[in-house]
Structure 1
Amino acid sequence: MQIERKEQLSLLMDGEITDDNFIDEVLRDKNLQSCWHRYHIVRDAMRGKLHNSLLTVDIANQVAKALANEDTYHQLAEQPNPNEVLVPQKHNLFWIRVKEVMAKVSQVGLAACVTLGIIAGVQYYQGQTEDSNGVPPTLNTTPIGVNLAPVGGISQQDDQQILEKRQYDKIKLLLQDYELQKRLNAH
């Protein structure tokens, strides 16, 4: 029924109803009067004719009432009682502090152990990968599976053997250069 009254109030405002009985009812009912006032404010706002003097809607009282009715504090089921809270004894405070310090020292000790293990592993790995000459693998240019001939002490050989030796040395140098280029470009 309240919705019908507000519809009739809107029709009255638009000039579509001129019922004197409804006008008398609006004059007697405070709720319909405030609704009439709000409808006029909304209409003026929609038409762009709203003035500051027309804004007399007092929402502060409505907000205050809503806040007064709202339950803002919820009591927890397991909230500690201040009378039952245990305060640490004086002689226990020292051990609590020692426990905190030992926890921090153990964390630092664990970090130091992990760091030591990493450093030792890297050094061990580097020691394993170095050649028997102490040369790291990136600088080792000797091809895999090639035996080096000692320098000097070459006995007299015929021309065919010397030619084969030079070709062999040339191939060996090309392979060494290839291995070196491959390792340098790999990094």
Structure 2
Amino acid sequence: MQIERKEQLSLLMDGEFTNEHIIDEISHDESLQSYWHRYHIVRDTMRGHLHSSALTLDITNQIAQAIATEDLYNQLADQPDINATTPPKAENLIWIHVKDFFAKVSQVGLAACVTLGIIAGVQYHQGQTDNTSTSPTLNTVPIGVNVAPVGGIHQQNDQQLLEKRQYDKIRLLVQDYELQKRLNAH
């Protein structure tokens, strides 16, 4: 019976079948309407009249049916019964707070230990470099610039005096080089 209806639809599309009864059936039956639509797409494709905008995928009905049949509030088998549960004891709540407190204190203690280790390592490394090398590991002061100590305390020792003399010597050499370069350029 269904195959017969499809053949009648095909004949109706080709203009070879003019039964008004089939037109009434198409208007009331959604499956025949979908076949009618698909047959038109196939015919237009074969003739080369089909545009890409005509091929729209309409799945709204299927989604609406899937949502309607979906059980959104299914009960899980392993959920506890609300009436059977007992509130926690006060001593358990205190233990939870104590554990949280010790966790936070241990985090702060760990951060303090790491900071202390870094500071001690930097001071130890600076002490080692002062004894073995005359130039600092990380020199952030530009050549020829004198930096005053923090707090206005001015400490001059032999090492600082030697470094100042070296900086002055380098500054004078750079100035002499620039002057020679200007003189030779003309």
TM-score with structure 1 setting the length: 0.46
Structure showing greater radius of gyration is 1
Higher relative contact order (CA 8 A, sep 6+): 1
TM-score with structure 2 setting the length: 0.46
